[in-house]
Structure 1
Amino acid sequence: MKKTLCIVISLVMLFLTAVPAFANGGALTLSSSGGTDYSIVVSANASEVEKTAANELKKYLDKITSASFEIVDDTAPAREKEIVVGDTNRRDYSTLCPEGADDDAVRILTDNGKLYLTGGKARGALYAVYTFLEDWLGCRWFTHELTVVPETTELTVPAIDYYYEPCFKLRQTYWMFSTMYSDFCAVHKLHGIMAYLPEEYGGGRYELAVSSVHTMQQFVPKSLFETHPEYFGSDENGNRNPNLQPCLTNSDVFDLALAYAKDYFSKYNAVLSISQNDGADFCRCEKCSEFIKAHGNTDSAVMLDFVNRVADEIKKDYPQAKIETLAYQRTQTPPTGLTVRDNVVIRLCPISTCTLHTLDDPSCPPNKKFSGDLSGWSDLTDKLYIWDYSTDFQYYYALYPNITTLQGRYQYYRDNNVVSIFDHGCGEVTVPAEFHELRIYLVLKLLWDPDTDIEKHISEFCAAYYGEAGDDIIEFIENFEKSDAGFNIRTFKECHNGCQDGGISLLNNSSLSSSDVKKLDSIIEKAKSRELTDDQCRAVEGVELSWRFFKNATFSGEFNWYSPFTDPEGATAQLVKDMRDYGIVLLAENWSLYFRDEEPDARMMPTFWYRDENDLPPDILRDMRLRVFAHGLLKTLFAPVLFIANLF
C-alpha cells in the first residue's frame, strides 16, 4: 500500500483503551522498550497462506513496536513466548478449531504465554492475523492509499479467546478503486472479483469460467432465429421474436443448453450460469403460459424448471458441478410447487428495492414485495446468493443515499439465510468522488460481520479520509439521507423510482426544498473551510462535485431554472469544467454518458447533455423549452431588482 499514515494513538483512542482492563490475568507483553522476547512460529510445511500470514504479522508488529520479530518454523525448539500462526506442532489443531471449521474461520487464543492465530484451513490464519491487527492493535486499512498503523514502545494485549465464522461464505464486490488490489481485498477478507487473489492470499474466487449472468443468448444465439424461430419466445399473439427469452419448454432448446453445459464442465472446474437474458420478456406460448400459471403465475417457474432439468442431467456425469441462475426482475418471485435442486444456486437480485427504507419496512411497497420473495426463496434453498446494488447506474457521481441503511440491509440478508453477497458498484469508474471509498469500506465491514459497529467505522473513516472535515461530512450524509432528497430511490439503470409516489423520477422532480439545499450547501462550505491536507481537500472536493452534480440533475439550488436569481447554464458550464479538471470522464453505466469534446447542452439534465434537440423525447423537449422560457421571463420581470442588487 503506497502511502502509510503512521500515527501514535493516544489513551483516548482504540489501541490503548482496551489494555488497562486486562492488565492482569493472561495479558501478554509482546514488546517493551522497542524490543521483544517473542518469535513468530509457522509450520515447516506451512501453506502459502500461512507464510503470508506470518510475514504480514511481522511487518506490522515491527512497524508498531520498532522491534524485530523473528519468524521461525516449528522444527525449532519450543519457547515460552511464541506467536503461533496457522497449524503447527505447537498445539493440536483440533483443540483450537472445531471439526469442519469454515475455510475463513478465525481463531485467536492466548494461553500459557503463547498467542495462537489460526482458523479455517484455506484462509483462516491470514484472516486471524488481520483481525488481531485491526481489532486488538488498532490498525486500519481505510483505502488502498490510506492505512493507519499505531506506534507504541509498550505492546501489551489482553487475554483473548475468540472464534468467528462469517455468515456470508462468499464475499465479493464490483468496484474499482481500492478493491482492484489483492492486498486490500485480503485484509478485508474479500474474495476477489476486480482483483485476482493469488494463492498467497488464499485465492477464493467464485469461478464462472465464461459469463456470469444473462447467458441464455450463449445457448440460443439470435442467429438461429431465421432457421428455428420456434426456439424463441412468443408474445401473447403467437408471434415469435428473437428479442424475447428462448422458449424454455421447447425440448430442442433444452438439448442445446444441455450440450453446452456438458461441454463446459468437460473443460472447466467452475460454476455454470444458466440465466435469463437481460431485459427480455418471457415466452407466452400456450405450453409456457400453462406451466407458469400452474406454478404461482411467475416467470421463475419455467426458468427454474429448465435449470433443474439441466442440473439433473449434469449431476449424472459431474456430481460436484453447480449451476447458478438468477431470480431477477421477472423471475424475482419464487414459483410454487417446485423445488431447487441441491446442485443449483439461486442468486436473488434486489434491483427493484429502494435504499431509503429497510427491506422489512411494510410501508415501502417494493421492499415489502422483495422481502416476501426473499423469504420464499429462503424456504426453497440453503444456497441463496444475493446480487446487491449500491450505486446509481445512470449517474455514477450523483449522491446515492444508502449509507444509513446499509447495515439493516445486510442484517436482513443474514437473518434470511443468505450465504453469499456480491455487491455491484460502479466497477467501470476509476476516479472516486461522492462517498465511493466510504461505501466500499462499509460494505466490506458488513460482508464480514453484519453486526459490526457501523457508526464507529463511519466515524473513523471520515476522520482519516476527510480530516477535520470528517464530522461535517457525517453531518452532510445524515441530513441528505434524512431529507426527502431522492425520496425512496431504487437502483435501476435509467430511473429513480419513488416507491410511494407512483414512480416519480428523481431526474425530473427535485424533492429537495430550498431550505434543504441551503443547509447542505452550508455544510459543504464549512467542510471546505477546515485545515486539510491536499488529499483531504480533494476528498471534500469530490463530495462537493457530486452534490453539485445531484443538484444539476434535479434542477436544484444554483441549477434552478424557475428563479430569476440563478444562472443555471453558467453553473452547469462551471460544473462540467470542475468535474473534468478532477479527472472524471465516465458518468454512467456502459459509457452511456461521458464527457465528450463538445460542450454539453446546459439546458438539459445530464442524461440528455449530448442528445440532439431533434432527437429528444417530446415530453423532455417540452419541459426544456418551458424551463428556458420561464427563466427568461423571470429574468425580464426581475431585471430592475437585479440591477439594483448589483449596485450593492
Structure 2
Amino acid sequence: MTTPPAKFAFAVALLFGALSSAIADSGLTLVESHQPKAVIVLADAPSPAATAGAKLMADMVFRISGAKLPVIHEADLQKPKAESDPSKGPYVLIGESELAKQLGATSEGLGPGGILIRTLPNALALLGADTKTPSDSGGSRYAVTTFLDEVLGCRYLWPGDSGLVIPPQDTVKVPALDRKFTPVIVERHIRANEYGERIQVGLDQLLLDKKAWDNARKITTPDWFVWQRMGGSLGLRAGDGSIIPREAWTRFLKEHPEWFAMQADGSREPAPGEERLRLCKSNPALIDAIVQEKLKELRANPKQSSVSLITHDGGRTGFCLCPACKALDPAEGRPTEIWTYDHQLSQVQKMQYVSLSDRMFWFNNQIAEGVAREFPDVLFCGSAYSCYTAPPLHIKLHPHVGLRYAGHGLQYATPERQTGLTEWDGWVKAASMVQYRPNFLLAGRREGVPTIYVHKLAQDIRHMAERGLVSTDFDACMQNWSTQGLTYYVLAKLLWDPNLDVDAEIDSYCRSGFGNGWKEIENYFARLEALMNQTAAVNHAPGPDTPNGTIMIPYTPEVLAELRGYLDAADRATAGDAASQRRIAFLRRGLDLTEIEAAAHSFLRRAKELNADEKAEAVKLLDRRWVTMRKIFTEDHYAVNVAGLLQAEDHRFKPLGWKGPSTAARASVATVSAN
C-alpha cells in the first residue's frame, strides 16, 4: 500500500490499529445495544450517488436499531478524536474517497452502475464508479441498497410503510465482505403509471381530484424504484411517436396531403379529430422534409447523441396502402393484420396483410442516410412494434440505426413467447442497439387482477441478457401491488441480475414479509402463477389486453375460495404478528376486488341474455365495486391503482345498465369519510 497523504495518516492509523480486533470479531460492529459505534464518511466533494447513499444508509440504520450514525466528510478526520468520539470509527466509507483509495477500495474494474462492497480493517466500503461512468452514475447508491437488502435483511416489497421490511436489531454487525458486481443491463427502466390526463379520468369517476391523489401517495419510505436500483441511460432518444414537432405536422397537412397514408378508399386525410398521423413512407419528398427537420434539431442541440425515427403506432388512421408503399412489403413476409379507415363508413376496417418491417426500416434508413451526411456519429432510434416486430427480410439496417423492440408477450401461449424470443435474436444481430420495450406489464390493466408469471419472466430475461440486452423500458408498472407486486419485484431484481435464482427470491420475499405464514403465502403466489399459465394457454391475442375479459375466467367461486383459504391460513399462522398480518390484509384487498371483478365480468359475458332482475343485481354489484375501489384508494392506496383501472376500462360495463355510482353508494362513501 502506498504511503497515505499526511491529512489521512491519523485516520489510516486508527483503521490499522483496529485490525487485530476486527479480525478477531470476524466483522465490524456499526451499532451496539442501540448505540452508534460507526460513522459514515463521504469524500469532501462526494458524488450525488454517494450523498444519496449516505442519507439512505443513516436513515435505514436508524430504522433498524434506533441509532443515528453521524455523517461526516474526510476533512473532519484530520484531527485526532477523543476516546468517546464515535467518529474514531469503524468507518462506513460511501463513495470513492482518498481514504478508501488508501485502503485499497476503488472503482477500478467497475462498469456503469457497478458496485464494490468490501470490509477493510475497521471500515466498510460501499462505492461505485459514479460520475466516471455517465451512462449509469448511481453505483454508490446501488452499493448501499444492495448492502441493506442482502446483508442487513431489509426488503422493500411494495411502496409504503407496509411494504418496507426492517428487521429490528439491537446490535448491527457486518460480516467479512468482498463483492464486486457490474450489471449487464446498463439501462434498467420500468415506467410507473403516475398522475396524468388518463389517471384524472379515473379520479373523475371516483369523484376525487388530484389533491386526493397526491395526499394518498405521500409516503415517508424510500422510492421503491430507486431502492430496486432502476437507473442508467444509453441516450436512446425515442420521442412520442410524432417523429417531428407538432407544428411541422400541421404545416405538412395543409401543404402536402399527399405525404400522408392512403386508406382503402383512396383518401389521404386523417380520420376526423385523429392526432396520431400515419405517413406515406415511400414518398421521397416527405423523407427529405423529415431529414431537414432532424438536421434542424441536431444543429440546435449539438450535444444530442441520438434522434427518434419512431412514428405513431396507433390511431384510427391505417397504414399507407399506396402502390409504392406496398411495393416495399415482401409478399413472403410474415402474415399479420393491418387496419384502414373508411371515411364513408366512419369505422376501422381490418385486413389480412404481411409484416411491414421492410417498409418501416427502409424508411428509417433513408432518413438516417440523409442526416448522417452532416452528423455521421449520431444514433437513430426506430421501433419494432405492431405489424413490424419481425426482422426485415430484405432490408439491412443502417449501421447507426438502433431500435426499441416492443413485441413478445409473457402473458400469451408458448408459441407467441417463442416467436418473440426468435424475433429478439434476429434484431440484436441486425441493429446497432436494441432496447427491450414490452407491453406485457399491462396485462390485467383493465381489471387489476393477479398477473403472476415470474418463472417465465426469469427464463426470457435471462435469454435476452445472454444475447445482447443492455436497455429496457417496460410499459408499465400499473401499480397494482397487491395483485401484481410479486411480478414487479422479481422483474426489478432480474434487471439488476438476470442470473437471479427466482425460487430463492420468492422464498425470501415471503419469509421476510409474512412471518410464520410465509409458506401459505408462497403457495398462494404459486396458485396465482398457475392461473396465469392457464390463461396463457388459451390466449393468443397480440396485445396487452386480454380479449373479452378472458383473464377473469379462471377466477371461479371455487378458485377464489381456495385462494382465500391460503390467506386465512396465513392469518392464523401469524397471530400476534401485526406487521405480517397487515401485509396479508394488503394482499386480501386485491383478492376482494378480484372476486368482484370476476362476478362483474360473468354478468358482462351474458349481458344480452340477462333479465331485468339479473341486470338489477349486476348494477348493485357494480355499485359495490365502486365503493370497494374508493375504500382501497383511501385506506390502502397502493394495493390496487383503482384510478388506473377506471381510466382504462372504457365504460365497459354500460351494457349492464350501470351509469355510475348510485346515490346510496355515494352516500355510503361520504359517511365512511365523515367518520
TM-score, normalization by structure 1: 0.72
AA in 2 matched with 1:275: I
Q: What's the secondary structure of 2:535's corresponding residue?
A: coil
Matched residues in 2 for 1:520 and 1:447: separation? 30
Pair 1:247-2:264 in alignment? no
Q: Give yes or no for contact 2:142–2:229 (8 Å, CA) kept in 1.
A: yes
SS of aligned partner of 2:590: helix
Pairing of 1:513-552 with structure 2 (within 5 A): 515-520=558-563, 522-523=565-566, 536-552=584-600
SS at match of 1:90: helix
Contact 1:355–1:401 (CA under 8 A) maintained in structure 2: no
Change (3 A) 1:89 1:150: same
**Correspondence for 1:449:** 497
Whole-Å Cα distance in 2 between the matches of residues 386 and 491 of structure 1? 20
Map of 1:309 onto structure 2: 366
SS of structure 2 residue aligned to 1:302: helix
2:444–2:546 CA contact under 8 A, matched in 1: no
Q: 1:231 touches 1:247 (CA, 8 Å); kept in 2?
A: yes
CA–CA distance in 1 between the matches of 2:46 and 2:552? Answer: 60
In structure 1, the partner of 2:127 is 118
What does the per-residue CA deviation read over 1:46-71, in whole Å, with 9 as the maximum and x for residues that have no partner?
Answer: 22322222333233334444444333
Secondary structure of 2:437's counterpart equals strand
Structure 1, unpaired ranges of 5+ = 1-21, 192-203, 358-363, 498-504, 612-648
- For 2:262, the aligned partner's letter is S
**Which stretch of the first structure deviates more once superposed, 143-152 or 92-101?**
92-101
1:292 is paired with a residue whose SS is coil
Q: Deviations over 1:536-584 (max 9, x none)?
A: 5344122221243134324599999899x99656544433432344337
Cα distance in 1, alignment partners of residues 154 and 121 from structure 2: 26
2:420 to 349, 367, 370: 370
- Give the 5 Å matches for 1:375-454: 375-388=425-438, 389-392=440-443, 395-425=446-476, 427=478, 432=480, 434-454=482-502
- C-alpha deviation, 1:594, in angstroms: 5.8
More helix by share: 2
**Structure 2 residue runs without a partner (length 5+):** 1-21, 81-87, 131-136, 195-216, 272-276, 334-353, 634-640, 661-675
Please state if 1:276 is matched with 2:311: yes
* AA aligned opposite 1:409: D
Alpha-carbon separation, structure 2, partners of 1:152 and 1:242: 64
2:329 pairs with 292, 315, 328, which one? 292
1:480 aligns with: 528
CA distance in 1: counterparts of 2:524 and 2:34, whole angstroms: 43
Contact 1:333 1:373 (C-alpha < 8 Å) held by counterparts = yes
Q: Does 1:82 align with 2:99?
A: no
Structure 2 counterpart of 1:60, one-letter code: M
| Conserved 8 A contact 2:236-2:381 | no
1:103/1:354 Cα in 2 relative to 1: closer, same or farther (>3 Å)?
A: closer
Measure, in 1, the Cα distance between the counterparts of 2:278 and 2:605: 45
- Counting only pairs closer than 5 Å after superposition, residues 120-519 of structure 1 correspond to structure 2 as 120-121=129-130, 122-146=137-161, 147-176=164-193, 183-191=223-231, 204=232, 211-213=239-241, 215=243, 218=246, 221=249, 224-225=252-253, 227-234=255-262, 240=268, 242=270, 245-268=278-301, 271-279=306-314, 281-293=318-330, 298-318=355-375, 321-350=378-407, 353-355=409-411, 364-388=414-438, 389-392=440-443, 395-425=446-476, 427=478, 432=480, 434-462=482-510, 471-483=519-531, 485-488=534-537, 489=539, 495-496=545-546, 505-507=548-550, 510=553, 515-519=558-562
**CA distance change for structure 1 residues 588 and 490 in 2, over 3 Å: closer, same or farther?**
farther
Indicate how the Cα distance of structure 1 residues 472 and 227 shifts in structure 2: closer, same or farther if over 3 A, else same.
same
Q: Whole-Å Cα distance in 2 between the matches of residues 404 and 610 of structure 1?
A: 40
8 Å CA contact 2:411–2:536 kept in 1: the answer is no
2:387 counterpart SS class: helix
Q: Give SS of 1:347's match.
A: strand
Is contact 1:399-1:547 (8 Å) kept? no
Asked whether the 8 Å contact 1:315–1:321 carries over to 2, the reply is yes
SS at 1:546 equivalent: helix
Distance 1:119 1:210 in 2: 28
In the TM superposition, residue 303 of structure 1 has moved relative to its aligned partner by: 1.8
Percent of aligned pairs with the same amino acid: 18
**Residues 241-263 of structure 1: CA deviation (Å, up to 9, x unaligned):** 54673122211111222222223
Instruction: Tell me how far 1:231 sits from its aligned partner.
Output: 0.8
Give secondary structure in 2 for the equivalent of 1:486: helix
State the aligned residue count: 552
Cα RMSD, aligned residues only? 4.3
Tell me the residue number matched to 2:5.
none
Cα deviation code 1:365-394 (max 9, x no counterpart)? 222221221110011235211112212366
8 Å contact kept, 1:30–1:38: yes
Q: Contact between 1:23 and 1:158, CA under 8 Å: does it hold in 2? A: no
Partner SS, residue 30 of structure 1: strand
Matching residue's letter, 1:228: H
CA distance in 1, matches of 2:230, 2:377: 24
Q: How many Å separate the matches in 2 of 1:393 and 1:274?
A: 30
SS at match of 1:170: coil
Structure 1 letter corresponding to 2:457: L
For 1:93 and 1:347, locate their aligned partners in 2 and report how far apart those are by CA, in whole Å: 44
Question: Is 1:117–1:128's contact at 8 Å kept on the other side of the alignment?
Answer: yes
Residues 174 and 423, structure 1, Cα contact 8 Å, conserved in 2: yes
The superposition leaves residues 77-126 of structure 1 with CA deviations (integer Å, 9 ceiling, x where unpaired) of: 49784332222112549965575732210111223343221122222111
Distance change >3 Å, CA 151–CA 478, structure 1 → 2: closer
Counterparts of 2:358 and 2:446 in 1: how far apart (Å)? 34
Q: SS of 1:336's equivalent?
A: coil
- CA–CA separation in structure 2 for the residues paired with 1:509 and 1:51: 46
Structure 2 distance, partners of 1:33, 1:525, is 37
Change (3 A) 1:222 1:342: same
CA contact (8 A) 2:244 2:293 kept: no
Please say if residues 110 and 160 of structure 1, whose CA atoms lie closer than 8 Å, have aligned partners that are also in contact.
yes
Change (3 A) 1:573 1:62: closer
